[in-house]
């Protein structure tokens, strides 16, 4: 079982979590706004700090400002387990497969401080 845990940004379709958990119930996948996760409306820099402190990889579709937020976060000497940017040209099923493949085959430290644009291949 992988130690990778995902936090879905609040603008990510909730269907992603439902499908991920249907396919792999052992997966830990939270969404911004869930109990214990950052509340809806939390600024991106605070979400990155939360991911760092709680060891969650952020899954987001924020291609506009997240890269700069991550650069600023790292420039402050902080770290993040990883940020996965969703590809708007990938279907939900294809993205689910990609996230499950990563969860099943990767170690948590493989994506440390990286911004990864899906798909990996």
Blockwise average pLDDT, block size 10, the chain, 121 residues? 89 96 96 97 97 98 94 98 96 95 91 94 72
Note the pLDDT of residue 104: 92
CATH of domain 5-117: 3.40.50
Tell me how far apart the alpha carbons of residues 102 and 29 are, in angstroms, rounded to a whole number: 13
* 45 sits in which H/E element: helix 44-54
Note the pLDDT of residue 59: 98
Note the pLDDT of residue 120: 85
Tell me how far apart the alpha carbons of residues 98 and 104 are, in angstroms, rounded to a whole number: 10
């Amino acid at each position: 079982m992988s130690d990778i845990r995902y936090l879905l940004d609040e603008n990510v379709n909730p269907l992603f979590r439902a499908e991920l958990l249907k396919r792999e119930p052992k997966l830990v996948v939270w969404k911004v706004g869930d109990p214990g996760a950052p509340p809806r409306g939390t600024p991106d820099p605070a979400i990155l700090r939360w991911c760092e402190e709680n060891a969650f990889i952020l899954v987001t579709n924020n291609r506009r400002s997240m890269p700069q937020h991550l650069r600023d976060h790292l420039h402050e000497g902080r770290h993040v387990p990883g940020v996965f940017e969703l590809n708007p040209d990938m279907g939900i099923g294809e993205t689910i497969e990609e996230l499950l493949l990563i969860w099943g085959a990767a170690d948590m430290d493989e994506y440390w401080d990286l911004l990864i644009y899906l798909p990996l291949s």
